[in-house]
Amino acid sequence: MMNNNFEHIPQEQFRFVQMDERLHDKKLETKSRSFLQDALLRFSKNKSSVIAAWILLFLVLFSLISPLVSPYTLNDRDKLFVNFPSYVPEVAKLGWGIMDGSTVHGSQNENSVNFWKGIALETGLDPVISVENTYTTLVKYRGKMVERYTYDLKVNRYFEKGAVYWTLNYQQFEDLQKWQNETGIQVVLPWVEYSSIHDIRDNANLWYECDDKGAAILDKSGNFVPVYSSRKEIEGAPYDSLRIAGDDGSYIYSFSVSGAVRVRVCYYNFYQYLNGREPSYIFGTTSRGQDLFSAIGIGARFSLIFAVIVSAINLSIGAVYGAIQGYYGGMVDMILDRISDILSGVPMVVVVTLFQLHLAQKAGVLGSFLFAFVLTGWIGMAALTRKQFYRFKSQEFVMAARTLGASDARLMFKHIFPNAIGTIITSIALVIPGVIRSETTLTYLGIVNLESYVGATVGTLLSDGNAAVTTAPHTLLWPSLFLGLLMISFNLFGNGLRDAFNPSTRGAED
Amino acid sequence: MFKYAIQRTLYMFMVLLIITCMCFVLIRMLPPETLPPGDPHTAVVLARREAQGYNKPYMVQFGIFLKDIFTKFDWGISDKLFFGQNVVKIFTERLPASMIVNFYSIIASIPIGIGLGIFAALKKNTWIDYMISTLTMVVISVPSFVYAFVIQYVFSYKLQLLPFLMKSGTDWFSWDMFVSILAPIMSLSFGVIAGFTRTTRAELTEVLTSEFMLLARTKGLTKAQATIRHAMRNCFVVVVPAIFGEFIGILGGSLIIERIFAIPGVGGLTLNAINARDYPIFMLTTVFYTAIGLAGGLVVDISYGFIDPRIRMGSKK
């Protein structure tokens, strides 16, 4: 007869199957892979995202390094080299046609060609790099058909500036002469009386016989006729330094004005005297005469740091808010949802403006700008967290933890939240470009003026550049290119990251 | 369905009212413009402020504000930008310019965007699909003003095909006007096209792999028939509400594009009002933009309900 009584089995009837050996699972033969490694592997398979990540790294490094590498700070504002194209003397000398500070001046007549020739002769710096095109037209002149030529000329804008009038005090004038003697660079040019150039006062580049429009009148052999002044009585201060070729020592190099001297200086060389180096602007100059290269770097650095801070704050607020919404559900969820509905309904422009009007005096422009981004920025993150919480909160491991007596806060942040963290972290990579985009838009529109805090923002650079789109396209090109690349690479990178961390949602857009 | 639509609409108005109230109080809290003493207008402005209840509690002021709107549709009088003019009149003058540019850009974008999306979905996992998807991603990432700069430089400056700025005047449908707004239309369209392409492609690829498509093929339909009759219909459940949502957005105009091309639209008015601290205009544009944003969401929600009965009845997602 079978013993079916399993209720009270006496203890001594039990015995161990074995005691000698520790039992464990068979050891895996392959190397195990962590979640992170797995994600990285998936990420590296996505080629466009990998490329985007490298570009992104490059752009971030650029924004960090360019202000350090550039010899200029944002306070170096040149008054005359404004909106000038890219120029690096070392590269320009190679004649590759890049970074030579050139602009093409279309359909120029003989007079302008002579004007530039005059600059080249006097300063020794030839502005004309090359003749792009020559056009021949037949014009009727005094009853005869005459050939007239017009040219498209590639001109170096830095050299084109030529001579300018400058007022120096006596001490400065002496220092300048001393510097000239040391370096052998001719800065001061002989004075030309206004009366000998038809009283043209705004053009310092006329040193020759010209008509009342400033067009050169050449002598029979086609040479310029100098009209330098040698009247000692109007000389501003004694001059004992370099003299230009063809000067027999009688030319005067300054003009007396009350308490100071007025001189004609070759601006390119004068710039070297003032700054101790030749002008060298990799991206050219901005409309304020700053170095565009470092200005973009500084603007971009601000954008990136600002976006990261905003995203971090929004992440924290949104995570807590969404966790409470998702965990408690029901009435709490509904009320909190209504609040975020209302906040998300207010347009961004309005929020930023109101914060600027109310808070700018107390919290500063930058502070109120940050607040404005935080006010509505967290809502997306909260919705995301809420969704994840709804997904996980009714699963068994949560129930198990609750049965063991875990508190609500512990359940929320120790048990459920880690499951949602992958989604949340990857969504940051997609939130940051959004913040940069709005920040750029708002500074572009001038709703927020961060100039005094940051110096330069990509938005203001774009706005200045747009004003000069025809004359200085480079001021628009580089900031736009930077912003465009940054946006594209951030989004591609973010997408790749999201697909890598959440393989189940690949391709879904949410 | 009808009940759902009514519910959603009422809810939207509630939210709008609360936001309006908040913004109203925040704007009224700012110190009003000091008036030049001795100016003949000062007395008029002071009397008007008295009538608007400037010295009363904010909620009373809000009551007066609402009463004026509901009884006379009076949103106040501009006190800086267009001194003494009715805000609503100024505003409605600006509306057509914004609308026309956005309208054209969406009309142009819908066929291109959906066409590209369908093409990419049908050629799924070929190089064409990869190219379209990547391009879409790239185009969507770049802000619309970057396109505006490129278009302005290439078409207006280098090729001299298009004018730099929008032509002035109110002949909205003349050929000259159309040419002058081509540049802003193009700059706005890039993003919209990419958006439609992405939505259509994502939705159609999902529908194409579903079982009813297999059934349709098994019962003898050709691929084209099955795609047009079954896949497209289901795909439009998502695409059509997106189109409706975009259409609401055309009223708003784009702040930045209007600024670049000097379009005399709502966006420009808002910016000027902000810069000049013209609060009555700012209040109106605030309500306007809020209403547009909310209405966009509402239209999407309700049209989902109309097109797809499964989503109806206010069911929780």
User: Distance between CA B246 and CA A180 in Å, rounded?
Assistant: 67
A387: its two tokens: 């969704």
The predicted model gives B204-213 an average pLDDT of 86
Asked whether the predicted pLDDT for residue A2 surpasses 70, the reply is: no
Share of chain B above pLDDT 90, in %: 9
CB of A130 within 8 Å of any CB in chain B? no
| Amino acid at the residue B71 | T
Give A461-498 as a DSSP string.
HHHHHHHTTTT-THHHHHHHHHHHHHHHHHHHHHHHHH
B202: its two tokens: 């994502």
Which residues of B fall within a CB distance of 8 Å from A349? 255, 270, 274, 289
Closest CA in chain A for residue B157: A470
Reported confidence tier of residue A306, pLDDT bands at 50, 70, 90:
very high
Mean pLDDT of chain B: 84
User: Which residue shows structure tokens 């069911």?
Assistant: B315
Of A357, A447, A466, which is closest to B149 when you measure between CB atoms? A466
A158: its two tokens: 């830095």
Is A237 in a helix, a strand, or coil?
coil
> Using DSSP, how many helices (H) and how many strands (E) does chain B show?
13, 0
Reported confidence tier of residue B101, pLDDT bands at 50, 70, 90:
confident
How far, in Å, are A301, B54, B73, B86 from residue B81 at the CA level?
36, 20, 20, 11
ipTM above 0.90, yes or no: no
Give A284-342 as a DSSP string.
-B-TTS-BHHHHHHHHHHHHHHHHHHHHHHHHHHHHHHHHHHHHH-HHHHHHHHHHHHH
Reported confidence tier of residue A310, pLDDT bands at 50, 70, 90:
very high
The kind and range of the H/E element at B130 are helix B127-141
How far, in Å, are B134, B265, B300 from residue B296 at the CA level?
28, 20, 6
B252: its two tokens: 């708003």
Q: What pLDDT sits at residue B59?
A: 87
pLDDT in tens, B272-294: 888 888 888 889 999 998 998 88
Inter-chain touch B294–A345, beta carbons under 8 Å:
yes
Instruction: Residue count of chain B, please give it.
Output: 317
User: Distance between CA A308 and CA A435 in Å, rounded?
Assistant: 9
Q: What is the pTM of this model?
A: 0.84
CB of A345 within 8 Å of any CB in chain B? yes
Of B138, B157, B255, which is closest to A469 when you measure between CB atoms? B157
Of A48, A441, A488, which is closest to B142 when you measure between CB atoms? A488
Cα angle for residues A332, A337, A342 (degrees, 5° grid): 135
Reported confidence tier of residue B175, pLDDT bands at 50, 70, 90:
confident
Which residues of B fall within a CB distance of 8 Å from A354? 23, 26-27
**Substitution target from A352, A356, A445 for chain B, most B beta carbons within 10 A:** A445
| Amino acid at the residue B129 | D
User: Distance between CA A106 and CA A132 in Å, rounded?
Assistant: 9
CA distance B147 to chain A (A): 9
| Amino acid at the residue B125 | N
Inter-chain touch A346–B23, beta carbons under 8 Å:
yes
Q: What pLDDT sits at residue A177?
A: 85
Which residues of A fall within a CB distance of 8 Å from B15? 341-342, 345
Reported confidence tier of residue A510, pLDDT bands at 50, 70, 90:
very low
Inter-chain touch B15–A342, beta carbons under 8 Å:
yes
pLDDT in tens, B29-68: 888 777 777 777 788 888 888 888 788 888 888 888 888 8
Asked whether the predicted pLDDT for residue A61 surpasses 90, the reply is: yes
Q: In degrees rounded to 5, what are phi and psi of residue B212? A: -65, -25
CA distance A163 to chain B (A): 31
Inter-chain touch B149–A440, beta carbons under 8 Å:
no
pLDDT in tens, A154-212: 888 888 888 888 888 888 888 888 888 888 888 888 888 888 888 888 888 888 888 88
Dihedral sign for Cα A314, A315, A318, A324, please: negative
Is A257 in a helix, a strand, or coil?
strand
Q: Say if residues A159 and A123 touch (Cβ distance below 8 Å).
A: yes
Q: What pLDDT sits at residue A506?
A: 47
Give A361-422 as a DSSP string.
HHHHHHHHHHHHHHHHHHHHHHHHHHHHHHHHTTSHHHHHHHHTT--HHHIIIIIIHHHHHH
Inter-chain touch B15–A341, beta carbons under 8 Å:
yes
Share of chain A above pLDDT 70, in %: 97
Q: What pLDDT sits at residue B197?
A: 92
Rg of chain B taking only CA atoms, in angstroms? 24
pLDDT in tens, A480-509: 999 999 999 998 888 888 888 776 654 444
Give Cα B183 distance to the centre of its chain. Answer: 18
Closest CA in chain B for residue A431: B141
Residue of higher predicted confidence among A409 and A57: A57
CB of A303 within 8 Å of any CB in chain B? no
Inter-chain touch B137–A509, beta carbons under 8 Å:
no
B213: its two tokens: 């498509």
User: Which residue shows structure tokens 């013993």?
Assistant: A3
pLDDT in tens, B115-153: 999 999 988 888 998 889 888 988 988 888 889 888 888
pLDDT in tens, A357-400: 888 888 888 888 899 999 888 998 898 888 888 888 888 888 89
Closest CA in chain B for residue A353: B274
CA distance B71 to chain A (A): 25
Q: Say if residues B28 and B311 touch (Cβ distance below 8 Å).
A: no
Q: Say if residues A454 and A299 touch (Cβ distance below 8 Å).
A: yes
Inter-chain touch A462–B205, beta carbons under 8 Å:
no
A residues 32-61 lying closer than 8 A (beta carbon) to B: 48
pLDDT in tens, A203-228: 888 888 888 887 888 888 878 888 88
Inter-chain touch A447–B271, beta carbons under 8 Å:
yes
Inter-chain touch B290–A345, beta carbons under 8 Å:
yes
Inter-chain touch A350–B289, beta carbons under 8 Å:
yes
Q: What pLDDT sits at residue A54?
A: 94
CA distance A162 to chain B (A): 28
Inter-chain touch B289–A495, beta carbons under 8 Å:
no
DSSP state of B171: -
Closest CA in chain A for residue B130: A48
Which residues of B fall within a CB distance of 8 Å from A508? 202
Inter-chain touch B202–A507, beta carbons under 8 Å:
yes
A:B CB pairs within 8 Å: 101
Neighbouring-strand partners of residue A153: A105, A131
Closest CA in chain A for residue B255: A445
Instruction: Residue count of chain A, please give it.
Output: 510
Considering only CA atoms, which of A71, A81, A270, A89 is closest in space to residue A157?
Answer: A81
Q: What pLDDT sits at residue B144?
A: 86
The predicted model gives A38-56 an average pLDDT of 87
Share of chain A above pLDDT 90, in %: 11
CB of A433 within 8 Å of any CB in chain B? yes
CB of A507 within 8 Å of any CB in chain B? yes
Asked whether the predicted pLDDT for residue A313 surpasses 90, the reply is: yes
Reported confidence tier of residue B253, pLDDT bands at 50, 70, 90:
low
Give A108-160 as a DSSP string.
E-HHHHHHHHHHHHHHS---EEEEEEEEEEEEEETTEEEEEEEEEEEEEHHHH
CA distance B107 to chain A (A): 24
User: Distance between CA A461 and CA B148 in Å, rounded?
Assistant: 15
Share of chain B above pLDDT 70, in %: 96
Considering only CA atoms, which of B188, B198, B101 is closest in space to residue B143?
Answer: B188
Cβ contacts of B241 within 8 Å, gap of 6 or more: B299, B300, B301, B303, B304, B307
Asked whether the predicted pLDDT for residue A422 surpasses 80, the reply is: no
Q: What pLDDT sits at residue A436?
A: 92
Is A98 in a helix, a strand, or coil?
coil
CB of A185 within 8 Å of any CB in chain B? no
Cα angle for residues B69, B75, B77 (degrees, 5° grid): 145
CA distance B184 to chain A (A): 15
Of A447, A466, A470, which is closest to B260 when you measure between CB atoms? A466
Which residues of B fall within a CB distance of 8 Å from A490? 141
pLDDT in tens, A432-462: 998 999 899 889 888 888 888 888 888 989 9
Closest CA in chain A for residue B198: A509
Asked whether the predicted pLDDT for residue A410 surpasses 90, the reply is: no
Q: What pLDDT sits at residue B315?
A: 46
B91: its two tokens: 């505003």
Q: In degrees rounded to 5, what are phi and psi of residue A263? A: -130, 160
Of B19, B137, B271, which is closest to A346 when you measure between CB atoms? B19
Which residues of B fall within a CB distance of 8 Å from A440? 143
CB of A330 within 8 Å of any CB in chain B? no
The predicted model gives A107-116 an average pLDDT of 82
Reported confidence tier of residue B252, pLDDT bands at 50, 70, 90:
low
Neighbour-count burial of B125, counting CB atoms closer than 10 A to its CB (0-12 exposed, 13-18 middle, 19+ buried): exposed
Cβ contacts of B79 within 8 Å, gap of 6 or more: B33, B45, B278, B279, B280
Mean pLDDT of chain A: 84
